[in-house]
Amino acid sequence: MQQTPTSLAEKVAAWFSESIVVKLTAIGFLILILLIPQAWIESIIRERQQRASSVVDEITSKWSGKQTLSGPVLIIPVTNREKSDKGKEGIEIREWTQEAFFLPEALSINGHVSPEILHRGIFDAAVYESTIQFNAQFNKPDFQKLNIKESDVHWNEARMALSISDLRGIKNSPAFRVRGDDLASEPSSQIGFSTITTYTQSTEEADYNSEYAAYNQKSKTESTGIVSSLPWKSAEDFSESVSLNLVLKGSTQLYFVPTGKNTEVKLDGPWPNPSFDGEFLPETRSVNDTSFAATWKILHYNRPFSQSWTEAGTELSGSDFGARLLIPVDQYQKSIRTAKYGVLIIILTFVSLFLVEIIRKIKIHSFQYLLIGVALIIYYTLLLSFSEHLGYNLAYLISSFATVILVSLYTRTFLSNWVMVGFFFSVITFFYGFIFVIIQLQDYSLLIGSIGLFLIIAAIMYFSRNIKWYAER
């Protein structure tokens, strides 16, 4: 028989042990405390993600970087003059040499990519070796359009240039073919024009949430490339057709700049997960389980630069496009997204325990709530560590099963029978299954999540409808 408290201290102690308000306050405090390790878990996931990214960058830096190709471009030095009136001293004529740049009238590029995966520990990086054929048709330069006299043109110094963002990737001895002759090329760090390379991170590589949404990171490439001197002595030696065969290594992505007035690029390779990025999408594409093929057709109206100019250092920017080789490794992004639902899992689990405590009239100590919350937090370290070796889906299954079994067996210490344990097991299994569905359905995650939470709240209202919150317990 329970003794009736007589002293004030005993009455206060009894009120604290029986009060629903105190219990809810304690549970709320425990949830706030568990937010601290929850934040640590998310920082650990991001740290591992940065570690993976740095390792991949290290691997690809030793192979060759992301490649962007621009050209071929015809470069012809010209003499420029400027008159200035010096008054009594007379007229001064300043004379200097500058370069005129001309883009092809038509450009056809055919590329084949042979990918390879390099490994460093548990991390993988996609690299490739490509064979690329350029065929360009030039119109005879119109120097009058640039206000240049024909007599000021240095035909004997004309050269052909192709911009390559990372010269370390060149595997053959590329030669421009003009009038049936192969013209040896030389590497150069000052070819006179440059590009803005767009590195795009897709939603497969970035978190689906807005904080980690896809982003564009643009960086200026140095004006590096290959240059060949042309065997021209005068305008009569001009040749319209230029071709080039290039064997090029690179990492992750291969981009092109549409330097032709009409540019057509065909690219294919044995890779099942390409991403077609940049300023233009392909007109046709074909992707299957083993390979891809894509074709781009770009007009000069679509790009923000002209066919000819005389200013050295001009940037051919704002129109690069191409393909990236994706490795479907999304465990870090999915782990981050999963961890964001950690507080929701803890709250729903604690609410379920609280309702069981109220309905079944059993006592669950705050320390027992805390142990269950800690187990739900440790779950995310299991998920992260397993996913790095087994992939996200299998890691989610193993981690969820282990955590649900552990928590369910622990509840047997205070639940009255195995039926209640089975019920609690089903509830937690449903929570983890619900989160998994949300993670997989990216496009419909908000819709499914909102509907699911609405139904969960409705269920809680239904099961708590008969509780007399102000009645004696």
pLDDT at 49 over 50: yes
Domain co-membership, 253 together with 269:
yes
- Region 360-389: what's the mean pLDDT? 84
pLDDT band at 43 (very low <50, low <70, confident <90, very high): confident
Domain co-membership, 215 together with 93:
yes
Calculate the average pLDDT of the chain: 80
pLDDT for 203: 40
Give dist(CA 209, CA 341) in Å, integer.
Answer: 12
Give dist(CA 381, CA 37) in Å, integer.
Answer: 11
Could you read off the pLDDT of 194-230 as tens digits, one per residue? Answer: 665 544 444 444 443 333 333 344 444 457 889 999 8
| 444, two tokens | 């419909």
pLDDT band at 85 (very low <50, low <70, confident <90, very high): low
Helices (H) and strands (E) in the chain, counts: 8, 21
Give dist(CA 328, CA 275) in Å, integer.
Answer: 11
Domain co-membership, 305 together with 441:
no
Domain co-membership, 339 together with 431:
yes
Task: Name which residue leads in pLDDT, 353 or 21.
Answer: 353
pLDDT for 9: 57
pLDDT band at 137 (very low <50, low <70, confident <90, very high): very high
Q: Give CA torsion, residues 6, 10, 16, 19, to 10 deg.
A: -10
Domain co-membership, 90 together with 129:
yes
Nearest CA-CA partner of 439 in 373, 344, 340: 340
Domain co-membership, 200 together with 295:
yes
Which of 268, 295, 327 marks a domain boundary? 327
Q: Is residue 472 part of a domain?
A: no
pLDDT band at 471 (very low <50, low <70, confident <90, very high): low
Q: Helix %, strand %, coil % for the chain, to 5?
A: 40, 30, 25
Q: Is residue 161 part of a domain?
A: yes
Tokens 């990025």 -> residue: 277
Please give the full DSSP string across 230-251, using - where no structure is assigned. ---SSGGG--SEEEEEEEEEEE
pLDDT at 303 over 60: yes
Structural domain total, the chain: 2
Tokens 């569905």 -> residue: 437
Domain co-membership, 322 together with 339:
no
**Predicted model pTM:** 0.70
- Region 459-470: what's the mean pLDDT? 73
Q: Is residue 146 part of a domain?
A: yes
Is 303 strand, coil or helix?
coil
Domain co-membership, 283 together with 372:
no
Q: Is residue 1 part of a domain?
A: no
pLDDT for 113: 93
Q: Is residue 469 part of a domain?
A: no
Domain co-membership, 93 together with 170:
yes
Task: Name which residue leads in pLDDT, 265 or 193.
Answer: 265
Which of 305, 327, 349 marks a domain boundary? 327
Q: Which of 11-20, 149-158, 195-204, 287-296 has the highest mean pLDDT?
A: 287-296
pLDDT at 285 over 70: yes
Q: Is residue 131 part of a domain?
A: yes
Domain that holds residue 366: 8-49+333-463
Is 171 strand, coil or helix?
coil
pLDDT for 214: 37
Sign of dihedral through CA atoms 401, 407, 413, 414?
negative
Domain co-membership, 139 together with 76:
yes
Q: Is residue 420 part of a domain?
A: yes
pLDDT band at 42 (very low <50, low <70, confident <90, very high): confident
Angle, helix 331-339 to helix 20-63, in steps of 10 degrees: 160
pLDDT > 90: percent of the chain: 16
Domain co-membership, 288 together with 341:
no
Could you read off the pLDDT of 8-19 as tens digits, one per residue? Answer: 555 555 555 566
pLDDT at 373 over 50: yes
Give dist(CA 249, CA 169) in Å, integer.
Answer: 4
pLDDT for 312: 66
pLDDT for 74: 92
Q: Is residue 208 part of a domain?
A: yes
Domain co-membership, 142 together with 19:
no
pLDDT for 378: 87
Q: Which of 67-76, 80-89, 303-312 has the highest mean pLDDT?
A: 67-76
Q: Is 111 exposed, middle or buried (0-12, 13-18, 19+ CB in 10 A)?
A: buried
Could you read off the pLDDT of 96-127 as tens digits, one per residue? Answer: 788 888 999 999 999 999 998 887 777 778 88
Task: Name which residue leads in pLDDT, 40 or 88.
Answer: 40
pLDDT for 268: 93
Q: Is 367 exposed, middle or buried (0-12, 13-18, 19+ CB in 10 A)?
A: exposed
- Separation of CA 473 from chain center: 56
